[in-house]
Amino acid sequence: GAGVSQSPSNKVTEKGKDVELRCDPISGHTALYWYRQSLGQGLEFLIYFQGNSAPDKSGLPSDRFSAERTGGSVSTLTIQRTQQEDSAVYLCASSSPPFSGEETQYFGPGTRLLVL
């Protein structure tokens, strides 16, 4: 597709369960970002991948959160032992390679996570 896609669109889980959220960036985009947005709040940066470099994990709120990006394309955000405060919309964005003249981030539709 032409844009960033995310799956699932919605996820309801029970407290203590693990969840995996998937992001498919725009083809050719080497940078990938994860953000989350709690109800009525702004976006909170979580993690950033650029090519094969070590990811910037400075925004991850706890060690229950992890992310990986296989083959420089698809990324999975994993939340272990989910808590109710993890309920939010998780957004993925991607952007073009460096020095391409276009570093605008394009966002996916998000995954709405509800932890009961």
Partner 1 sequence: DAKTTQPTSMDCAEGRAANLPCNHSTISGNEYVYWYRQIHSQGPQYIIHGLKNNETNEMASLIITEDRKSSTLILPHATLRDTAVYYCIVRPYNYGQNFVFGPGTRLSVLP
**Shortest spacing between CB 16 and partner 1, in angstroms:** 27
List b or e across 48-84, with b for residues whose CB sees 16 or more CB atoms inside 10 angstroms: bbbeeeebeeeebeeeebebebeeeeebebebeebee
Site string for partner 1, 16-35 (x = CB under 8 A): ---------------x-x-x
Q: Which residues ranging from 57 to 116 are in contact with partner 1 (CB under 8 A)? A: 59, 91, 93, 98, 103-110
| Alpha-helix runs per DSSP H in 1-116 | none
Q: Which residue ranges make up the site for partner 1 (CB under 8 A)?
A: 4, 31, 33, 35, 42-43, 45, 48, 50, 56, 59, 91, 93, 98, 103-110
